[in-house]
């Protein structure tokens, strides 16, 4: 069964971006590049919500190139218009992912943010959580976690401080 991975870069107070979506606080170095590249090797499918998709489009991603060209991506939205080259999914995210997981393929990554992750956590469909925790409290922003109706138990698999002061953590979800 393919694994579903939720992760990204966060602040210590669990924000993925500033309130306006800005990620100017992110630190990048060779260690982050290496771990990101390793992750992408295991993945062939990317899930995102409308807001993340719109941020990705503004940053130059899109059906014409970038990660969209190499990875099968699905955008969950009931309001986005159909667009050539973009797989817009209008059905319930948990039902869709439950059908996707048993299909042959590599792992599936949930791109921030927390609004898409919440129903997947609640349905028990997320298998791994990986964060690059940055040494900052943003104070406000786009949350990595939205309130959930149940507890999710995790198992720490790895914690690795990077030279630049961020801390990579990886957890397995206990099903």
Q: Which residues contact 132 (CB under 8 A, 6 or more apart)?
A: 7, 8, 9, 10, 32, 35, 162, 166, 167, 168
Q: Is 152 in the site for a copy of itself (CB under 8 A)?
A: yes
To a copy of itself, the closest distance from the beta carbon of 111 in angstroms equals 18
Nearer to a copy of itself, 81 or 147 (CB): 147
CA distance 44 to 66: 14
SS3 assignment, position 173: strand
Q: Is 14 in the site for a copy of itself (CB under 8 A)?
A: yes
Give the binding range for a copy of itself (CB under 8 A) out of 34-42, 75-83, 97-105, 142-150: 142-150
CA distance 121 to 140: 23
CA distance 125 to 85: 26
Binds a copy of itself (CB under 8 A): choice among 3, 21, 23, 25: 25
Contact criterion met (CB below 8 Å) for 66 and 60: yes
Q: Is 145 in the site for a copy of itself (CB under 8 A)?
A: yes
Q: Which residues contact 152 (CB under 8 A, 6 or more apart)?
A: 121, 126, 173
Contacts (CB under 8 A) with a copy of itself, residues 114-133: 121, 129, 133
Under DSSP, the state recorded for 141 is: S
To a copy of itself, the closest distance from the beta carbon of 115 in angstroms equals 14
Q: Is 148 in the site for a copy of itself (CB under 8 A)?
A: yes
Give the binding range for a copy of itself (CB under 8 A) out of 30-38, 65-73, 102-110, 139-147: 139-147
Q: Which residues contact 24 (CB under 8 A, 6 or more apart)?
A: 18
Nearer to a copy of itself, 100 or 138 (CB): 138
Q: Is 20 in the site for a copy of itself (CB under 8 A)?
A: no
Instruction: Enumerate binding residues for a copy of itself (CB under 8 A).
Output: 12-14, 25, 121, 129, 133, 135-140, 144-145, 147-156, 159, 161, 165-167, 169, 171
């Amino acid at each position: 069964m393919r694994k579903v991975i939720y992760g990204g870069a966060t602040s210590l107070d669990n924000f993925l971006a500033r309130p306006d979506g800005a990620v100017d606080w992110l630190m990048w170095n060779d260690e982050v590049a290496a771990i990101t590249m390793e992750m992408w090797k295991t993945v062939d499918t990317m899930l995102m919500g409308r807001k993340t998709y719109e941020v990705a489009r503004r940053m130059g991603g899109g059906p014409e190139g970038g990660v969209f060209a190499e990875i099968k991506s699905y955008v969950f939205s009931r309001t986005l218009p159909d667009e050539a080259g973009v797989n817009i999914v209008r059905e319930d995210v948990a039902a869709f992912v439950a059908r996707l997981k048993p299909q042959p393929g590599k792992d599936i990554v949930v791109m921030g943010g927390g609004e898409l992750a919440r129903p997947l956590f609640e349905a028990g469909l997320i298998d791994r959580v990986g964060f690059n925790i940055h040494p900052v409290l943003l104070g406000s922003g786009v949350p990595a976690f939205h309130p959930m109706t149940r507890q999710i138990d995790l198992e720490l698999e790895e914690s690795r401080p990077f030279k630049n002061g961020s801390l990579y953590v990886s957890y397995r979800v206990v099903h």
